Amino acid sequence: MRVVLLGTAADGGFPQWNCACALCSAARDGKLPARTQECVAISGNSRDWWLLNASPDVRSQLNATPALAPGPRGTPVRGVLLTDAEADHVMGLAVLRDAPGLKVYAAPPVLAALSPLHTLLDRHTPWEWADSLTEGGFVLAGGLVVSAHAVGSRAPGHIAGADDDRWTTAYRIEDLASGGVLVYAPCLGRWTPALDELLTGATCVLLDGTFYAAGATDPGVRASCGRKHGKHHPGHLPVSGADGSLAALARHPGPRVVYTHLDSTNPLLDPASDACASVTGAGAEILPDGAEFVL
């Protein structure tokens, strides 16, 4: 299975267009690499490609990835697997609207929330929309077997929906040919025993790295940033701390661990930071946009 990290930043990308914090300023000055909003491409045969989430930056991400370039028979992108209904994970669907025959997988509450977009997109070209939580999982073109697992109940802030255990999902994707197993969980509100089971036998996990630590951010960051940054967002488990994901990963020494969906205030964006040293010292990785590996 080929895995390409098309984008690795949280909502708004890095640097944030309206943020003057030290990290965003360093990115504008070229001292830190810029990052587009989180999105991944996977393939089991290097011909049929599937997107994990569809970021608003998907056009530039696809154009920057030779393997995803269109050919005489059209695009190699076959569809999208959504983990949630957050704007930074679904707005790219509109960018893909002219590609015929795509298949979109998502959990039932996400499919319901996206029904207006579904109607709009079908006016361009019909797509197939499927329940990602279907019993027994599903098979993707290219020899990939997928199962979705509910990991979060919080409805997105922009949707007037009640909490539902299926609002956020993680995917376990197995390559039948190589035996490689990818766990994709870019949004986690908390660590659960179900997630421990999900990681058992995994080759690699792409994990929610939105916030390094729980609690308030530096007052200087809040003052210089044009959007709200305060206490740890309830929809994202922090990396550090006794209850953070890094501590939980100590129970799973086998898989390769890559943190993604990095918020623009996250010190992990700076390779020279103490936070980055602590994460890499524990064996996890922070990779740039465009990074590719094979499982």
pLDDT at residue 122, rounded to an integer:
84
Q: What is the mean pLDDT of residues 59-70?
A: 97
Lowest mean pLDDT among 24-28, 72-76, 141-145: 72-76
| Mean pLDDT taken over the chain | 90
pTM reported for the whole predicted model = 0.92
**Residue range 186-191: mean pLDDT, rounded:** 92
Matching residue, tokens 């290219």: 142
Q: Collapsing DSSP states into helix, strand and coil, what is residue 198? A: helix
Rounded alpha-carbon distances, angstroms, from residue 209 to 175, 232, 279, 285, 286: 25, 12, 11, 10, 9
- What confidence tens digit (pLDDT) does each residue in 221-258 have? 444 444 444 333 456 899 999 999 999 999 999 999 99
**Contact between 263 and 10 (Cβ < 8 Å):** yes
The answer to whether residue 162 scores a pLDDT higher than 80 is no
pLDDT at 164: 76
The whole-angstrom separation of Cα 265 and Cα 249 is 23
pLDDT given at position 34: 97
In this structure, what token pair is assigned to residue 171?
């995917």
- The radius of gyration computed from the CA coordinates of the chain, to the nearest angstrom, equals 18
- Residue 121's pLDDT is 85
> In a 3-state reduction of DSSP, which class is residue 210?
coil
Percent of the residues in the chain that have a pLDDT greater than 90, as a whole number: 78
Q: How far is CA 214 from CA 105, 227, 239, 242, in A?
A: 31, 18, 8, 11
Q: What residues contact 122, with CB distance under 8 A and at least 6 apart?
A: none
Helix (H) or strand (E) holding 277: helix 274-281
pLDDT digits (tens, 9 = 90+) for 26-50: 999 999 999 999 999 999 999 999 9
Cα(9)–Cα(88) distance, rounded to whole angstroms? Answer: 10
